[in-house]
Amino acid sequence: MDVGDQLCEAAKNGDAGKVKALIESGADVSHFDGEGLTPLMHAAKHGHADVVKKLLEAGAPWNALSPSNLSAGDFAMDAGHQEAFDILLNAGIQAELVLGTIARKDNKIGDCNGDYLEDRVSFSEDKLMDAESKAVMMAWEKPLMEAHAKAVCSGGGHILNIGFGMGLVDTAIQQYAPASHTIVEAHPEVYERMIRTGWAEKDNVKIIFGRWQDVLPQLELYDGIFFDTYGEYYEDLREFHQYLPALLKPEGIYSFFNGLCGGNPFFHVVYCQLVSLELENLGYSTQLIPLPVKNCLGEEVWEGVKHKYWQLDTYYLPVCQSIQDSE
Ligand SMILES: C[S@@+](CC[C@H](N)C(=O)[O-])C[C@H]1O[C@@H](n2cnc3c(N)ncnc32)[C@H](O)[C@@H]1O
């Protein structure tokens, strides 16, 4: 048996001594065996927390994926191995925190949705697609958008929404008759459709055309804010969060579309925790409200859509409030 396979076997058996010896003799901790599993996945699957820890310390990648797209954390989660799961979760959060810091330091983050904003989009009854047949927005999200609107409008007053898309959240926001309802939208065709469908004529609506990054000086202070853009990354969401203290009233409510790593259950947990932690550092508490979505998401929903951006059974709707105010 080759050394990598031996390491997988030892990890599977929870043989911490052998794992240690093999690592010291130079065995590859990121080895994939014949099943396509790494030593870390084997240890996680069988709940050998001490081995999980050892492998992570030796540099085993926490986010490697099996042929069925499962990570070590997914294996621990599915088998109910809490200790191994907690170690992996912590490793994932720490790794992403460090990676983010390095990327920001190296200035590797720039305008990422430039292409999308310049390309054509197409509207149909149940979706808005980009030029590559990727869904910008889909009608199955309507109940989620209604729940987001309810959360951000719960204190009434002045509401800000970033990203119009199909106008689902904005339609729901209108039902709460806010004192003012500001919508920021950057795509020229989406904006043109907003105008054509009468959004600019609504008494309490103010439309600001442009990327949120570019129109920040036109924004004011709001009682409720919702954020849901497209073609951007976690770093953009994170950047938006840095402006929250300047945009959200102390007693205001903030929410965002929580599609973070919507294709993998464990990565989603890592990113839910990461975003909550980063918001906490900015002075906001985050409540994640579970909403079942399995029933509104049959396979037929994705017909003709290139990227299935959501594959989980539960959506966790974030409700964020200033920690001082919520105490
Ligand atoms: C997922 S859709 C929003 C869906 C919306 N929540 C709804 O209920 O229909 C994202 C929208 O954000 C817009 N967008 C993308 N990047 C943006 C940016 N940097 N600033 C403002 N809007 C942006 C897109 O053009 C798109 O209309």
Torsion over CA: 254, 255, 256, 258 (sign):
positive
Looking only at the bridges linking them, the beta strands covering 314-322 and 248-256 are: antiparallel
Among 118, 120, 137, the mutation site with the greatest number of ligand 1 atoms within 8 A of its Cβ is: 137
Name every protein residue with a CB atom under 6 angstroms from any ligand 1 atom.
Answer: 113, 136-137, 145, 162-169, 184-187, 190, 211-213, 228-232
Half-sphere exposure of residue 180: CA atoms within 13 angstroms, side-chain side = 11
Here the tokens at position 118 are 């310049």
265-282 pLDDT per residue, tens: 999 999 999 999 999 999
140-165 pLDDT per residue, tens: 999 999 999 999 999 999 999 999 99
Cα of 28 vs centre of ligand 1, distance in Å, is 43
Here the tokens at position 268 are 């989603």
Mean per-residue pLDDT, 300-323: 94
Three-state DSSP class for 235? helix
Domain boundaries, the chain: 3-105, 114-326
Q: Give the atom of ligand 1 at the shortest distance from the alpha carbon of 121.
A: 25
Evaluate if residue 133 carries a pLDDT over 60. Answer: yes
The model's confidence at residue 326, banded by pLDDT at 50, 70 and 90, is: low
Q: Alpha helices, DSSP H only, in the chain?
A: 3-13, 16-24, 39-45, 49-57, 72-79, 82-105, 114-118, 142-152, 168-174, 188-196, 212-215, 234-242, 244-247, 265-281, 323-326
213-266 pLDDT per residue, tens: 999 999 999 999 999 999 999 999 999 999 999 999 999 999 999 999 999 999
**What is the residue with the minimal CA distance to atom 13 of ligand 1?**
163
Cα of 119 vs centre of ligand 1, distance in Å, is 14
Evaluate if residue 298 carries a pLDDT over 90. Answer: no
Residue that the structure tokens 């390491």 belong to:
7
Here the tokens at position 46 are 């069988």
Q: How much is the pLDDT for 245? A: 97
Cα of 295 vs centre of ligand 1, distance in Å, is 25
Cα of 231 vs centre of ligand 1, distance in Å, is 9
Mean pLDDT of the chain: 95
Q: Are 8 and 55 in contact (CB under 8 A)?
A: no
**What is the residue with the minimal CA distance to atom 25 of ligand 1?**
187
Q: Give the atom of ligand 1 at the shortest distance from the alpha carbon of 215.
A: 20
What radius of gyration, in Å, describes the C-alpha atoms of the chain? Answer: 22
Q: How much is the pLDDT for 108? A: 58
The model's confidence at residue 314, banded by pLDDT at 50, 70 and 90, is: very high
- The CATH code that applies to domain 114-326 is 3.40.50.150
Dist CA 209 CA 184 (whole Å): 6
Q: Give the atom of ligand 1 at the shortest distance from the alpha carbon of 212.
A: 20
Between 50 and 103, the higher pLDDT residue: 50
Cα of 226 vs centre of ligand 1, distance in Å, is 11
Q: Give the atom of ligand 1 at the shortest distance from the alpha carbon of 145.
A: 8
Dist CA 116 CA 110 (whole Å): 14
191-221 pLDDT per residue, tens: 999 999 999 999 999 999 999 999 999 999 9
Q: How much is the pLDDT for 96? A: 93
Count the Cβ atoms, other than its own, within 10 Å of residue 115. Answer: 12
Q: How much is the pLDDT for 134? A: 94
The superfamily (CATH) of domain 3-105 is Ankyrin repeat-containing domain (1.25.40.20)
Q: Give the atom of ligand 1 at the shortest distance from the alpha carbon of 136.
A: 1
Q: Alpha carbon of 168 to those of 128, 152, 260: distances in Å?
A: 12, 14, 20
**What is the residue with the minimal CA distance to atom 3 of ligand 1?**
165
The answer to which of 108-112, 202-206, 301-305 has the lowest mean pLDDT is: 108-112
55-77 pLDDT per residue, tens: 999 999 999 999 999 999 999 99
Three-state DSSP class for 319? strand
Specify which residues 319 forms β-bridges with: 287
Q: How much is the pLDDT for 112? A: 63
Q: How much is the pLDDT for 104? A: 75
The model's confidence at residue 296, banded by pLDDT at 50, 70 and 90, is: confident
Evaluate if residue 186 carries a pLDDT over 90. Answer: yes
Mean per-residue pLDDT, 75-101: 95
Cα of 294 vs centre of ligand 1, distance in Å, is 24
Cα of 164 vs centre of ligand 1, distance in Å, is 5
Among 175, 194, 228, the mutation site with the greatest number of ligand 1 atoms within 8 A of its Cβ is: 228
Between 244 and 98, the higher pLDDT residue: 244
Among 185, 215, 239, the mutation site with the greatest number of ligand 1 atoms within 8 A of its Cβ is: 185
